[in-house]
Structure 1
Amino acid sequence: MMIRYGLGLLLLSAPAVGQVGAVQAQGEEPAKQQKGPLVLGAYAQGSFIIAHTPAIRHLAVSHPTGFELNLQRQTNGSEPWHAWYRYPKLGVALVYYDYHNPVLGRSYAATTYINKSFLRRPRHELNFRVGTGLAYFTNPFSLESNHKNTIVSSKLNATLQLRLEYDVAVAEHLGMLVGLGLNHYSNGATTKPNFGINLPTVFLGFNYHQQRPFVPAVRPANDTPADLGRNFLNISTSFGLKQRSPIDREKYLVQSVSVLGGRRVGRKSNLLVGLEGFYDRSLLQEQRDTARTTDNLPDVKKAGVLVGHELLFGRLAVVTHFGFYLYNPYKSNNFYYERIGLKYHATDRLFGAVDLKVHRGSADVIEWKVGVKL
């Protein structure tokens, strides 16, 4: 499969750059505490389903249509990373799709996202949006009642959004938005079949801007991270659940442990290298189903080495890993694996993450991870 892994409007707008000093001198709250202006949007969307595998060609015949409501808050420089990314917007969205196919039904999704500007002028802007969240499907796969739905096998799925958006002012606070995007839905092999849905999408709608044009707060004179150039150690463990096949409905536990060394090499980036081990209990059952005898079966545990990158947004990071198995007696997959995920530091030491581990573009397991940074 292809991965191919909310509301008040009466808030104070950020003051103009030339006014910040005067406003703060008059006793207003400093830029550190001010909230950025809001953007409220409503979009219609039209799509088609990519037949990325022959097993879903019978379903890639309709043209899904949908609707989205979203709320974005403009970052204003209250944190150093806002300026590093040219003051992106942070948003939440509710997305509805009707697939115009009784096998697929409808979906309802809630996502969070970041919207980064490549071009921003007083009357128009060009943005790139990436987001993730959860989606509910009304008609998932069922051996008894809906066996033709080979795309979606569970009611609850993860979603990934990629978009290019152009917003042009049609009134003082109103902008018209057009865009192209890709929506991906999958459960990460938690339940099978899991080919997933990929929806190239065209958007048309309107945005209400609380403040336009947006003027950021003053950027700090020194925004160099305190830990730039420092080394660190991450120790973590994870668990996940996966299903082997549509017939075997049992969910098998998958666990991992990792020890990674890292270094902050820039304002936006950490580089990582380290070792990790895996124990996938579904492989034990796979062995029993395929082996002539259960004597002297190879070990299903695996160990690997990885290199990785973290793209930093304050306490949040987008994680990408590429690893190779060094210990892999039971050859159930390729010798390498990939991972993409989201990591969040609850404190300077404690973090959690949700990752999708992949073998050659095919989802293996969703990993729920906790760890410490030393």
Structure 2
Amino acid sequence: MTAALGWMPKAQAQQAPPRAPVLVGAQVHGSFIIAHTPAIKHLAVSHPTGFEVNVQRQTNGSQPWHAWYRYPRVGVAFTYYDYHNPTLGRSYAAGIYLSKAVWRRARQEVHARLGSGLAYFPQGFDAATNHRNTIISSRFNAIIQLRAEYDVALTSHWGALLALGLNHYSNGATTKPNFGINLPTVSVGLNYHGQRPWRPLSPPAPGPDPADLGRTRVSLSATAGLKQHGESDPRRYLVNSITVSASRRVGRKSTLTAGVEGFLDRSLTAQLRDTARTTDRLPDVRKAGLYLGHELLFGRFAFVSHLGVYLYNPYKSNNFYYERLGLKYQITEHLFSSLDLKVHRGSADVIECRLGVRL
């Protein structure tokens, strides 16, 4: 009855986690485009400018991983850029991020921020009307943001911000050309802190170890992605893979994993038919690989990184090794999904949508 009326005993109320304060920020950006390949030198001549608005919530200990990472902030941001170049035009992006304090005092803070999201470019590559845009070929692109931020208090709630960052835009070779944009950025702005300084009401308790610590799990998963093999062919080809892996949680934050997988990239078949002198006895485009990986855990989410080598690779369309970066979500105890970017020597190969089961 008392719980239904919203009242709880004093001892029980003291166990509730502190209310999570909110931070609201706005910044302006100054940037330049890195000419990481000669094919984009004609576009790396302007100095893009933009702005960002964001909202962050301070984690408060309601989940065990909050204390394990020393209470990071979780934020959402909207970012706008004007590239001051009629070929590139403008971009609009929205994403989520984690911001972790690496140094904190009552009036000063230094944070490291990592985020990802989706960006929209109204002016993509078009062979007839915008053929000079060799950087961005599709209107929708993924964005990855890295940033170091310094915040100094002006009043009890307002703070001035200075930040250095890197923004990367790419569509993961879904369409071509896709050299992507790398924007080193200097930002200045203002933050409004709902509570400053923020501290947990009590020192974080270590808490019990995760139930699956030291346990080995076996997983089976499959992926699907779309890929264009060249600018002259507008079609997008299906790319599939299947993976059998074993994983072992070795700490509160980390899982180590290893697996074998097979790949079928249908764009390679189209590429062979376009370049081979004869279509008789074309090499097998199927590939098989072995990888080792790590998962950095944040509750149900995990940041995935893999390094693999091809064991079966008759058609040498790429290097002998590959990398993978992704974001994984554990839907249930046994079902998971992830969005991964497969890379060959720093060049995007395909964006993979993965669904799997864990035994």
TM-score, structure 2 normalization: 0.95
Residue in structure 1 matching 2:276, options 291, 310, 313: 291
Tell me which residue corresponds to 2:62: 78
- State the number of aligned residues: 351
3-state SS, counterpart of residue 167 of structure 1: strand
Deviating runs (4+, > 3 A) in structure 1? 26-30
Tell me which residue corresponds to 1:355: 340
Whether the 8 Å contact between 1:158 and 1:187 is mirrored in structure 2 is yes
Tell me which residue corresponds to 1:163: 147
Distance 1:120 1:267 in 2: 24
Tell me which residue corresponds to 2:355: 370
Distance 1:50 1:357 in 2: 22
Distance 1:212 1:176 in 2: 13
* Residue 186 of structure 1 pairs with residue 208 of structure 2: no
Shift in Å, 1:213: 0.8
Percentage of matched positions with identical amino acids: 64
Tell me which residue corresponds to 1:19: none
Gaps of 5+ in 1: 1-22
Shift in Å, 1:292: 2.1
Tell me which residue corresponds to 1:210: 194
Tell me which residue corresponds to 1:137: 121
Tell me which residue corresponds to 1:150: 134
* Structure ranking higher on relative contact order (CA contacts 8 Å, 6+ apart): 1
Whether the 8 Å contact between 1:278 and 1:303 is mirrored in structure 2 is yes
Distance 1:354 1:263 in 2: 21
Tell me which residue corresponds to 2:312: 327
Shift in Å, 1:35: 4.5
Whether the 8 Å contact between 1:122 and 1:212 is mirrored in structure 2 is yes
Q: 1:52 to 1:29 in 2, by over 3 A?
A: same
Q: 1:241 to 1:227 in 2, by over 3 A?
A: same
Tell me which residue corresponds to 2:45: 61
Residue in structure 2 matching 1:227, options 212, 215, 219: 212
Letter in 2 for 1:107: S
Distance 1:307 1:26 in 2: 48
Tell me which residue corresponds to 1:10: none
Letter in 2 for 1:344: Y
Letter in 2 for 1:55: A
Letter in 1 for 2:313: N
Shift in Å, 1:62: 0.6
Whether the 8 Å contact between 1:152 and 1:194 is mirrored in structure 2 is yes
Shift in Å, 1:28: 3.8
Tell me which residue corresponds to 2:3: none
Shift in Å, 1:122: 1.4
Tell me which residue corresponds to 2:223: 238
Q: Which moved more, 1:64-73 or 1:216-225?
A: 216-225
Distance 2:32 2:149 in 1: 19
Tell me which residue corresponds to 2:77: 93
* Residue 40 of structure 1 pairs with residue 19 of structure 2: no
Shift in Å, 1:220: 3.4
3-state SS, counterpart of residue 285 of structure 1: helix
Tell me which residue corresponds to 1:337: 322
Whether the 8 Å contact between 1:238 and 1:255 is mirrored in structure 2 is yes
CA offsets 1:295-316 (integer angstroms, 9 cap, x no match): 2222111111000000011110
Tell me which residue corresponds to 1:13: none
Residue in structure 2 matching 1:263, options 229, 236, 248: 248
Whether the 8 Å contact between 1:124 and 1:169 is mirrored in structure 2 is yes
CA offsets 1:236-287 (integer angstroms, 9 cap, x no match): 1000001111111000000000011010011110001110000000111111
3-state SS, counterpart of residue 122 of structure 1: coil
Tell me which residue corresponds to 1:254: 239
Tell me which residue corresponds to 1:310: 295
Tell me which residue corresponds to 1:3: none
Whether the 8 Å contact between 1:80 and 1:220 is mirrored in structure 2 is no
Letter in 1 for 2:189: G
3-state SS, counterpart of residue 49 of structure 1: coil
Distance 1:176 1:124 in 2: 10
Tell me which residue corresponds to 1:12: none
Q: 1:258 to 1:214 in 2, by over 3 A?
A: same
Letter in 2 for 1:370: L
Whether the 8 Å contact between 1:80 and 1:223 is mirrored in structure 2 is no
Please tell me the root mean square deviation across aligned C-alpha atoms, in Å.
1.4
Shift in Å, 1:154: 0.6
Shift in Å, 1:178: 0.5
Distance 1:169 1:111 in 2: 26
Letter in 1 for 2:240: Q
TM alignment of 1:271-282, pairs within 5 A: 271-282=256-267
Q: 1:223 to 1:35 in 2, by over 3 A?
A: farther
Distance 1:96 1:199 in 2: 13
